Amino acid sequence: MLTHLIIRNFAIIEHLEIPFKSGFTVLTGETGAGKSIIIDALNLLLGGRALTDVIRTDEESAVVEGIFAPGEIQLKRINAMLDERGIEALDDQFMVRRIVSRSGRNKVFVNGSLTTVSTLAELAQGLVDISGQHEHYSLLEPERHVDILDDFAELEELNVRMQVAYGRVSKVRSELARIKKNIRERANRIDYLRFQISEIESVQLTPGEDQEIEDELGVLRHAEKIQDAGRKALYLGYEAEHSATQQISEAVGVLNKIAHYDERMGGFAGQLEEIQIALEEVSRDMVSHVMNIDADPGRLNRLIERHEVIKRLKRKHGESIEEILAHASRMRDELDELEGAEERGEHLAQELVEAEYEAYKIARHLSRARREAARLLEQCVEQELTDLNMARTRFIVSFAPDELPHEEQFLSDEEGNNVSGLELGPKGFDQIEFLISPNLGEEPKPLAKIASGGELSRIMLVMKSALMDRDSVDTYIFDEVDTGIGGSTADMVGLKIQKTAQDHQVLCITHLPQIASRSDRHYMVEKLLVDGRTQSTIRPLDEQERVEEIARMLGGARVTSTTIEAAREMITSRVRLA
C-alpha cells in the first residue's frame, strides 16, 4: 500500500507531505481545490507521462516522492525485478522519486538509484489501480470489453498461449504473402541476381588479389628505374674496383694485424666481417630480384585490365574483394530462396493450415472459458446492480459468433484457405460487447446507446467490485467515480467501497457525504491565498472538523445546526463492517 506521498512545486501545490494508512481514506474539498492534482502527482510515481506544464509558476522543477509497502506477492515480484536491474531491494518498502524539470532533464529514482520511466512503469504495475471520474466512458468502447471479461475470468495464461499461436500464424502469413506478392517482380529479381553473380564468378577473384596486383603494378610501371637503381647499388656495393665490400675487407685486414696489441681492435674487425657477410648476402638477393623483374608490356597491360575489372566490381559490390565475395554469397542465398519460392510457398501453405488450426483450437478453448465466465459475470453484475437500485436491469455479455464453433469448422479447403468465417486475432476470434436493458420488456442494447452517466458510474463500480476479489492490487483510488448518483444509491456505493477497504487500501475523492461518512480517515483539501499566490493544502480532520465538513457537503455553503446534527448522525450511525 501507499504509506507516504510528498509533493513539491506541482501545479498549485507548493509542498505537501501526506501519510496514508490502510483502510478507507477519503479526500474532500471544494471543486478546484486540488484534489485531482494529488492523483495526477501520484500517477507520476506509477510511470505516468511527465509534462513541464505541471511545474509551479516561477519554479524550475517539480518533485513527487512516494513510499510503498507492497503486499507479499507484489514485493516478491518487485524485488526480483530490482535484482535483475542491479537496484538495491529494501526489506519491505519500495521508494520512488520523480523530478520534472523545465530543462527537460527529468529524472527517475527507485530506492535511490537512477533509472528510466519505462522501468518504473514495469515495477509499479499492479501497485495502484486508479479509477478516474471519466473512466466509465471506457465501457462505451466494445474493444475494451474482452479485456474486462478476461480479467474477471483470470485468463492471462490462456491469453499468452493465444498470442504466441497467433504470432506464428501472422509470421507464416506474412512470409507466404511476400512470396506470392508479384511473380513478375520475382522473375526480374532472379534474372538480375543471376547476372550479378555470373559477373563476379567469371572474374574468379581470390582474397587479397587486389593488393597483390597493385604491388606488382607499382613494380612493372617503374621496371627500368628499379633495374637501373639495383645495378648501380650492386656496382657500388660489390662490383666496383673500390666497392664497399672490398674496402670493408681491407679494413678487416688492417685491424687483424694489430689485434694482438689491442683486443678491442680485434672485436671491431669481427663486427666488420659480419657487415661484410651481410653486404654480400644483400648483393646476392638484389641480383636475383633485379634479374626477375619482368618489364614485359603484355604482362603490364593484362594486370592493368584486371585491376580495372576489380575496381568496377568494387564500385558495385563492395570496397574489397572480401566484401564482393560476401555480397555474392548473399545474392546466391537470395537466388536459392527465390528459385525455391514455389516449393517454399507450398510448404508455407501447409504450415499455415497447421498453425491456424492450432491457433483456432486455442481460441476455441479461450472462447469456451470466456462464455463460462460471462454467465458468472452477468449474475454478479445484476446482483450488484440490484443493490444499487437497478434491480430490473439485465446485463448481457454478447458474443459473436453466437455459438461456440466446432473444431471441424477450422479445417481449410483444398487450397489451404480457412473457410470458418471466423476472423482470428491475438485475442482469439471472439467479438464481445456488454449490453444492458434497464427496463423490463426492452431488448438489451449497447451501453453507448441507452446508459446514462449515472448508470455508467454504477456499472463501472460494479465491474471494479467484481474484479477486486481476483487480483493482487494493494491500493485502489476512486477519483469522483460517484458522478451522477445520490441518495440511497450513493449510500450503497459507499458501503461497497467500505467493504473493499477490508482487503485493500482505498483512497477516494468524493463530493458525496454518504460516501465520505463511511471512511476511516478524512482529509480536507483546500485552496488558500498565501503571500499573493494560490496554494493547495491538505490536512487531516479531527472528529469535530469531520462533522463540519460532512455538514458542508450536506447543506452547501450554509451550515446550520440541523445539518451539523444530521452529519453527526450520518457518521455515528453508518454501517460498521465485521
pLDDT for 204-237, tens place per residue?
888 888 887 777 777 777 777 877 787 888 888 7
Does residue 105 sit in the same domain as residue 222? no
8 Å CB contact between 119 and 469: no
84-107: average pLDDT? 90
Runs of H (alpha helix) within 388-486:
447-450, 453-468
Write out the three cell numbers for 341. 519460392
DSSP-derived 3-state class of residue 67 = strand
Q: Do 242 and 328 have their domain in common? A: yes
Residue 354: closest CA among 162, 159, 165, 161: 165
| Same-domain status, 107 and 212 | no
Kindly state whether residues 116 and 215 are assigned to the same domain: no
**Is residue 403 a part of any domain in this protein?**
no
| Alpha carbon distance 354, 348 (integer Å) | 10
pLDDT digits (tens, 9 = 90+) for 298-350: 777 777 888 888 888 888 888 888 998 999 999 998 888 787 777 777 888 88
Of 336, 363, 393, the residue that ends a domain is: 336
Distance (Å, whole) CA 158 – CA 452: 35
Q: What is the DSSP string of 311-333?
A: HHHHHHH-SSHHHHHHHHHHHHH
**78 and 204 together in one domain:** no
Spatial separation of the C-alpha atoms in residues 529 and 520, rounded to whole Å: 30
For the chain, the straight-line distance linking the first and the last C-alpha, in angstroms and rounded, comes to 21
Regarding whether 227 and 111 lie in a shared domain, the answer is no
Q: Helical H runs in 125-182?
A: 145-153, 156-180
Q: Record the pTM.
A: 0.60
Say what the pLDDT of residue 20 is: 93
Q: What is the CATH number of the domain that holds 7?
A: 3.40.50.300
User: What's the pLDDT score for residue 578?
Assistant: 39
Strand (E) positions, 379-504?
394-400, 431-437, 445-446, 475-479
* Cα-only R_g, the chain: 43
CA–CA dist 369, 385 (Å, integer): 24
Res 151: pLDDT? 85
116 and 206 co-located in one domain: no
Whether 278 is in a domain gets the answer: yes
Q: Are strands 13-19 and 2-10 parallel, antiparallel or unpaired?
A: antiparallel
Structural domain contains residue 257? yes
Same domain, 204 and 325: yes
Number of structural domains in the chain: 2
Please tell me what DSSP assigns to residue 412.
B
Q: Is residue 119 part of a domain?
A: yes
Confidence at residue 217, expressed as pLDDT on a 0 to 100 scale = 76
**190 assigned to some structural domain:** no
In a domain, 315, yes or no: yes
The stretch 525-544 carries a mean pLDDT of 88
Strand-pair partners of 540: 523
Q: Given the C-alpha cell 475494451, which residue does it identify?
A: 144
Position 136 scores a pLDDT of 58
Segment 544-572 shows an average pLDDT of 87
Query: What's the average model confidence in pLDDT over 33-58?
Result: 88
Helices (H) and strands (E) counted in the chain, each on its own, are 19, 15
| Residue whose C-alpha is closest to residue 308's, from 215, 214, 218 | 214
The whole-angstrom separation of Cα 40 and Cα 59 is 18
The single-letter code of the amino acid at 252 is V
Q: What is the mean pLDDT of residues 71-84?
A: 87
Report helix, strand or coil for 116.
coil
Domain ranges, residue 331: 199-336
Share of the chain above pLDDT 90, in %: 26
Among 28-37, 400-409, 448-457, the range scoring the smallest mean pLDDT is 448-457
Is the model's pLDDT at 575 over the cut of 70?
no
When pLDDT is cut at 50, 70 and 90, the band that residue 188 belongs to is: confident
Residue 68 identity (one-letter amino acid): F
Cell numbers 463492517: residue: 577
pLDDT at 201 (0 to 100)? 87
Question: How confident is the model over 375-401, as pLDDT tens digits?
Answer: 999 998 888 888 877 888 889 999 999
Q: In terms of Cα–Cα distance, which of 520, 521, 519, 512 is closest to 552?
A: 512
Please report, as a single letter, which amino acid is at residue 246.
Q
Phi, psi angle pair for 214, to nearest 5°: -60, -40
Does 554 fall in a domain? no
Alpha-carbon dihedral 19, 21, 25, 27, rounded to 10 degrees:
10
Both 247 and 123 in one domain: the answer is: no
Q: Is residue 194 within a helix (H) or strand (E), and if so which, with residue range?
A: helix 183-203
Q: Is the pLDDT of residue 417 over 70?
A: no
Q: Which of 292, 307, 336 is the last residue of a domain?
A: 336
3-state secondary structure of 80: helix
Q: Are 94 and 207 part of one and the same domain?
A: no
C-alpha cell, 331: 545474392
Task: Give the other-Cβ count within 10 Å of 121's Cβ.
Answer: 14
Query: Could you tell me where the beta strands, DSSP code E, fall in 37-76?
Result: 61-68
Residue at 463 is within a domain:
no
- Among 55-64, 342-351, 455-464, the least confident range: 455-464
Given 292, 316, 336, the domain boundary residue is 336
Q: Which stretches within 221-340 are classed as H helix?
A: 223-234, 244-257, 263-292, 297-317, 321-339
